[in-house]
Amino acid sequence: MRGAVSVVLRSGWVRAWLAVGLCVGAALPVPALSADWALSDLQLRQLKAGGVIAEGDIAPNRMAADVRAAVQVSAPPETVFLTLTDCSRALRFVPHLKRCAVVDTASDGSWQEVEQQSDYGWLLPKATYVFRATYEKFTRIRFSHLRGDFKVNEGVWDFLPVDEGRATLVTYQARLVPDFYVPRWMMRSMLKRDLPELMRGLRTEAEKVRPGAATNGRPPPGP
């Protein structure tokens, strides 16, 4: 079962929870991202067996999407959190990510501003953007758009300990509205392919870390 993927992509705003963007346009109000995502018993069994859950909504009349995803990682929350917030490691597993650098950090380490560049290939322009990541140590990361090639880029990562803290249930919600043209068929294709790849990549990278080993860095990957 490990590696199985449940992917649901829809047209229209069937739900406002999914995580990759639409705060644009007064004609369509957008609720805040849910702090908690209640997975069903069936989904939890699928994740425990090694599957990946990925869901998304594509707007019917604009370049925007909401997505959410989940994976269970055989590593404690601290390890997964530190893996995700290490720029050098993010470059290994975040699809299309070519550059990741911290540009500013709070004196107490509670937030960072991160610049990233993604290259989606010859069909689309490279996207450069800066977001702020706010940290709740080893439990949650929130990120929000500051500037760059997105109108909206916001979301949340949550890390829930399971199996007596030896494993982590990771959930990801995001909202994204690019500031450049992306055909809807391409958005659907990228979400269907890239979202599961992101979650599998995080799992693989975090599970490489030996118990007690340190990881470096901070900035979490955006979409």
Span 199-206, mean pLDDT?
A: 97
Check if the beta carbon of residue 97 is closer than 8 Å to that of residue 115.
no
Q: What homologous superfamily is domain 5-207 in, according to CATH? A: START domain (3.30.530.20)
Phi-psi category of residue 77: left, alpha or beta, with phi > 0 → left and psi -120 to 50 → alpha:
alpha
Confidence at residue 102, expressed as pLDDT on a 0 to 100 scale: 92
* Predicted confidence (pLDDT) per residue in 146-168, tens digit: 998 888 889 999 999 999 999 99
Cα(154)–Cα(18) distance, integer angstroms: 11
Retrieve residue 198's tokens.
Answer: 């992101």
* Band of residue 213 on the pLDDT scale cut at 50, 70, 90: low
- For the chain, what percent of residues have pLDDT higher than 90? 50
> pLDDT higher for 124 or 19?
124
Domain map of the chain by residue range?
A: 5-207
